[in-house]
Every structure is written in C-alpha cells, then in structure tokens.
Amino acid sequence: MQRLSKLWQRKGVRVGFVPTMGYLHAGHLSLVSRARQLVGSRGKVVVSIYVNPTQFGPSEDFSRYPRDLKHDLGLCQSESVDVVFAPSDKEMYPNKGGEPFSTFVLEGKLSRGMEGAARPTHFRGVTTVVAKLFNLVQPSVAVFGAKDYQQAVIVKHMARNLNFPLEIDVAPICREPDGLAMSSRNRYLKGNLRAQALVLWRSIEKIHAIVCDSSKAIAAGRLKAIVRTLVKREPAARLDYVEFFDPDSLAPVAKVGQGTHMALAVFIGKTRLIDNSRL
Ligand code: AMP
C-alpha cells in the first residue's frame, strides 16, 4: 500500500482515503463519492476495510461484528474505488517474531468524555489505527462521517497535533427514510428492536424542536430528563449517555441553545447505537 502511494505521490496524483470497518452501506458509499469529488477523476480513491481489534473493549462485539468482504468488494467496484486495502490483524499488530506491536497514539483531552467515558480504551485504538492507516495510505485527504462526531473531531485534532500532511473532510450523516442513522450494527436489530431504535432520532428531533422554539437557552439537565423519559418508554432501550456540548471543544455546556451539539448512545437490547446532531 505504501509503495503504491509513494508511486502516486511522485506522479502528483491526489489520493482520497475512506477508512471503514466494512459491511458497507450507503453511509460509507457517501464518503466514497465525497472522496472522489475531492480528488477528481484523475485522483485515486482508497477504501480500507479493517475491523480494528484495539478499538473494541473486552466485552464488546469485536468477534461478532458483521463482515462480508466479498459484498464490500462488489460495492467498491461499482463505486469505482481504485484500491481496497484490507490488511490482516497479523500485519497490523504483529505479536510474534522480531518486532511485536507496542506503540499507541493517545489523544488526551477530547477523547475523555462521551464515547471515551463509556468505552475507556476505544479512542486509543481509533487514533492508533488511523495514524497507522494514514502512514500506509499517505492520502491527500481522508473522509470521515459525522455519524461518529467525536471521532471526527479527535482525528482532525490528532492530524494537526502530529503534523500529518493531509486534509480531513467530514461528511454528513446518512439516514434511513425514517431517520435511523445508517450503521453496520443495524443488522443486529431483529423484530421490534428496529422500531425501538428510532428513539435516538425521535429524541434528536424533539430536542431540536424545543431548542428552535425557545428564545432563551435551556438548562441541559432539563433536556436530558426529556430524553431519559423518551428512552424509558421503549422496553428494550437503555440510555448510556446523552450530552450537550460545544461542537469544537466537545466541552459539555450547562445551557443549550442553537449551535450547541447533541450526542447520545442508547442500548437497544444488546446493540449499542449512537447518533448526534447540531441543534
Ligand atoms: P465504520 O465502518 O462504522 O467504522 O465507519 C467508517 C466511516 O463511515 C466513519 O467515518 C463513519 O463515521 C462513517 N459512517 C458510518 N455510518 C455513517 C452514516 N450513516 N453516515 C455517514 N457516515 C457514516
């Protein structure tokens, strides 16, 4: 991968990169078309497919995370992706032989709250694998989804802090027609769990309406209580967190107004879903 990227660089070819964990859906493909737009028809688009073990906690769904490389390759081909980079765990994290893996990238501030508080080793895994992928693919621009809003902010920050010579582009969230954010994990939602999962989007819409209708900022605690009540109505749903924060610093705010960002994580049965929106 690195050899190929260097060859492209020497020829002045721009490279657009979309890192994924595979089991691709229309949300991923929207990032691919954004990457293509950004590098043009003479540029190259690289998609990585790698279910990164270091970003999963010990009791999370790493081993059962959905995988279908053949289907993903078909989708990438129909989207005119130039290269699909799908390394193995052994290549990414060698643990035997001369040079076992022992270096991690740790962002120390933005990754503390929300997903970082709920999943303590998650962002260390994300920043480590993204740094490795950036060094392997050496893109001119990498495209991330706003679906994982905190991740996108952290990756942007890491790229600046560590002087990665690339641009980070953040693409909007793709939703199903009823509002559910597209996610590879939606395939876990069997039976009536699919309908219950809509509580994330309903919560966002409800809070959005309240904030838009109010001329004054509203106490975050009051809005959190409203979300808690909405989630409690769904028998299989359990709120992990809901947060209101500054979109750049990710610092929680006490008063919520237009321009505040909202994020929430909800378990629907055993499936943990996340969503977010600017208010
Ligand atoms: P994943 O395969 O879940 O790690 O996601 C790979 C990339 O696709 C990340 O940058 C995600 O934020 C992005 N992504 C996932 N779902 C969506 C979606 N529904 N809309 C936009 N981007 C998404």
Q: Whose CA is nearest to atom 22 of ligand 1?
A: 145
The DSSP secondary structure of 146-200, one letter per residue, reads: GGGHHHHHHHHHHHHHTT-SSEEEEEPPPB-TTSPBP-GGGGG--TTHHHHTTHH
Spacing, Cα 117 to ligand 1 middle (Å): 20
Structure tokens at 248: 């750049």
pLDDT tens, position by position, 225-236: 999 999 999 999
Distance separating alpha carbons of residues 233 and 226, to the nearest angstrom: 11
Spacing, Cα 218 to ligand 1 middle (Å): 31
Catalytic residues: 28
Distance separating alpha carbons of residues 184 and 27, to the nearest angstrom: 10
Q: Whose CA is nearest to atom 6 of ligand 1?
A: 20
pLDDT tens, position by position, 154-209: 999 999 999 999 999 999 999 999 999 999 999 999 999 999 999 999 999 999 99
* Amino acid identity at 269: G
- The band of 251, judged by pLDDT with boundaries at 50, 70 and 90, is very high
Residues with CB under 6 A from ligand 1: 20-21, 27-28, 30-31, 144-145, 147-148, 171, 173-174, 181-184
CB count in 10 Å sphere of residue 12: 7
* Amino acid identity at 102: S
pLDDT tens, position by position, 9-38: 999 999 999 999 999 999 999 999 999 999
**What predicted TM-score, i.e. pTM, was given to this entire model?**
0.97
Which of 17, 18, 20 for a ligand 1 pocket mutation test, highest count of atoms within 8 Å of Cβ?
Answer: 20
Distance separating alpha carbons of residues 248 and 107, to the nearest angstrom: 15
Spacing, Cα 144 to ligand 1 middle (Å): 7
Distance separating alpha carbons of residues 92 and 26, to the nearest angstrom: 27
Atom of ligand 1 nearest to the CA of 31: 22
22, 72 in Cβ contact below 8 A?
A: yes
